[in-house]
């Protein structure tokens, strides 16, 4: 199983909740997502990220199919202008 983790920082903190809603919806539209956890930061410290996304996929090919899915591209086009930073980690778990 491949685990995909994305952390996002937004120019406007309120966009994190909107992004979370869209990501939860995305999980029902993309069959290559086996599981998804998506949470908005509650403490908002100086070192916090605003949102964390964790998805699991059968393997790297499934992750690539997820990333190529039109629904993923639609989300990316919406969220990209709202972000100030993003970090990604992928690992076998």
Successive 10-residue mean pLDDT values, the chain, 93 residues = 99 97 95 98 97 99 98 98 99 96
* Residue 33: DSSP 8-state: -
Q: How far is CA 37 from each of CA 11, 46, 55, rounded to the nearest angstrom?
A: 22, 23, 6
Closest by CA position to 75, among listed 12, 30, 11, 9? 30
What tokens were used for 56? 């699991």
pLDDT of res. 22: 97
pLDDT of res. 62: 98
What tokens were used for 71? 């629904």
Assigned CATH topology for domain 2-92: Alpha-Beta Plaits (3.30.70)
pLDDT of res. 91: 99
pLDDT of res. 75: 98
Angle, helices 15-27 vs 70-79, to 10°: value is: 180
pTM for the whole thing?
0.95
């Amino acid at each position: 199983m491949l685990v995909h983790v994305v952390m996002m920082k937004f120019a406007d903190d309120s966009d994190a909740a909107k992004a979370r809603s869209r990501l939860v919806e995305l999980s029902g539209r993309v069959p290559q997502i086996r599981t998804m956890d998506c949470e908005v930061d509650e403490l908002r410290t100086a070192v916090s990220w605003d949102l964390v996304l964790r998805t699991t996929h059968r393997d790297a090919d499934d992750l690539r199919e997820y990333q190529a899915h039109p629904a993923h591209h639609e989300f990316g086009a919406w969220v990209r202008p709202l972000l100030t930073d993003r970090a990604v980690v992928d690992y076998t778990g």
